[in-house]
Amino acid sequence: MNKAFRPLTHLTDEEVAFKNAVREFAENEIRPLVQQMDHEAKMSPAIVEKLFAMGLMSIETPEKFGGAGSTFTMSCLAVEEIARVDGSVSVLVDVQNTLVTNAFLKWASDKQKDKYLPLMSQKWVGAYALSESGSGSDAFALKLRAEDKGDHYVLNGHKLWITNGAEASVFLVFANVDPAKGYKGITGFIVEKDFAGFKVGKKEDKLGIRASSTTELIFDNCKVPKDNVIGEVGKGYKIAIETLNEGRIGIGAQMLGIAQGAFEATINYVKSREQFGKSIADFQGVQFQLAEMRTQLEAIRLLVYNAARLKDAGHDFIEQAAIAKLYASRAAEKICSMGVDLFGGNGFTKEYPIEKYFRDAKIGQIYEGTSNMQLQTIAKIELS
């Protein structure tokens, strides 16, 4: 195991202790299963159970609901440290905390919180269902329809690319109750896995984060009680936008962890690899590449931590979240690519960890808002 994380000036003692505890958990419990989970493209149920036992699935959830009652920054630190070992497990934790739980905390009724937050603290994985085949970056072009049937709604349609789909017991689903109103008809619904007319469809066979399930969701006359509308009818677009703004910081934290893991693996390798009678770490060309990696890594960390701090303090963070995700995803891919280069031929094989970090990093520029969408957000704010 690597030595304990050395405190940075912008982390409190409590945060450092938490970060180290998560790192130890990731090293001891997750790392031994990383290759197997990646090869089988399946999350270990034992890992999910241990995440709940560690309290890592309810970091911000108030103590009265069984959570830790902590901060958004703590959630990001957990995502970072888990991603340092495995990007797949980190995104499961990320979606649970920064998307689904955050949406419940801000938008759910007291009755909904009383019912679902304890379950999500103990055993229920959550999933966030917005994307469809024709609505990716254009998130509000969704076609999933919700018809008002008096005391309930009936949902018909499909969702695609839903993270945690295979593990989730509760889904935050966005559907349109009145397509004539456009995005103003979009409404959020809490759908349980066992609801009649709902099922999880095919699982995608992905390039990276392979153990993280990405699935289709099928709604065939799915009956949802009116008590399971989250927020107000027609306000789903607002819930979706605000939740994704927060979630982007979590993806930045994931990219930070992946980049950190790749950098550490590269450092260890270049120290041990010998060419021309000496360690390749002694060559200036290699040292300069390591310095570039380290500089970009620090920039990711500062951007991500700053955005998380702003969120916790109640300040405007939308632009900082977009900048953090944009830079973190680009820099993580670059750091991992440089790592593959420094591993040489070994970096192109599955015998060494760097190729997985490289594969896992790519998704950061795509999900929870593509890089182009982040650029658009930043430009719009600056020009307003």
Condensed to tens digits (0 to 9), the pLDDT of residues 325-334 reads 999 999 999 9
Task: Enumerate residues 6+ apart whose C-beta is below 8 A from 142.
Answer: 130, 132, 134, 135, 174, 175, 176, 186
Sorting pLDDT into bands at 50, 70 and 90, what band is 282? very high
Q: How far is residue 138 CA from its own chain's centroid? A: 20
- Asked if the model's pLDDT at residue 148 lies above 80, the reply is yes
- For the purposes of burial, counting CB atoms within 10 Å of the CB of 248, is it exposed (0-12), middle (13-18) or buried (19 or more)? buried
Give the Cα separation of 197 and 110 in Å (integer): 27
Looking at residue 4, its pLDDT comes to 52
Average pLDDT, integer, range 289-296: 98
In the block, residue with structure tokens 């893991």: 261
Q: What share of the chain is helix, strand, coil (3-state, %, to 5)?
A: 60, 15, 25
CATH class of 238-383: mainly alpha
Chain segment 194-218, per-residue pLDDT in tens: 999 999 999 999 999 999 999 999 9
Q: What is the distance between the alpha carbons of residues 192 and 304, in angstroms, rounded to a whole number?
A: 33
Amino acid (one-letter) located at 293 = M
User: Phi, psi (5° rounding) for residue 194?
Assistant: -90, 5
pLDDT above 50 (res 7): no
Supply the pLDDT for residue 138.
Answer: 85
The predicted-structure confidence for 46-81, as pLDDT tens digits, reads as follows 999 999 999 999 999 999 999 999 999 999 999 999
* Predicted local confidence at residue 336, as pLDDT: 98
CATH number among 3.30.70.640, 3.20.20.70, 1.10.510.10, 2.40.110.10, domain 127-235: 2.40.110.10
What is the pLDDT, as a whole number, of residue 136? Answer: 80
Domain locations along the chain: 13-125, 127-235, 238-383
Please check the confidence at residue 2 and state whether its pLDDT lies above 60.
no
> Which residues are catalytically annotated?
368
72: which strand partners? Answer: none
Q: What local confidence, expressed as pLDDT, does residue 10 receive?
A: 77
| Distance in angstroms (rounded) separating the CA atoms of residues 35 and 183 | 42
Mean pLDDT, residues 248-275 taken together: 97
Measured CA to CA, the distance from residue 367 to residue 372 in angstroms comes to 11
Res 141: pLDDT: 87
Residues 237-246: what's their mean pLDDT?
Answer: 94
Closest C-alpha among 195, 224, 151, 214 to residue 367: 214
The share of the chain scoring above pLDDT 90, in percent, equals: 95
Task: Please state, rounded to an integer, the average pLDDT across all residues of the chain.
Answer: 96
pTM of the model as a whole: 0.96
pLDDT at 9: 47
Does the pLDDT at position 182 exceed 60?
A: yes
Domain 13-125 has CATH 1.10.540.10: yes
Residue 231 has pLDDT above 80, yes or no: yes
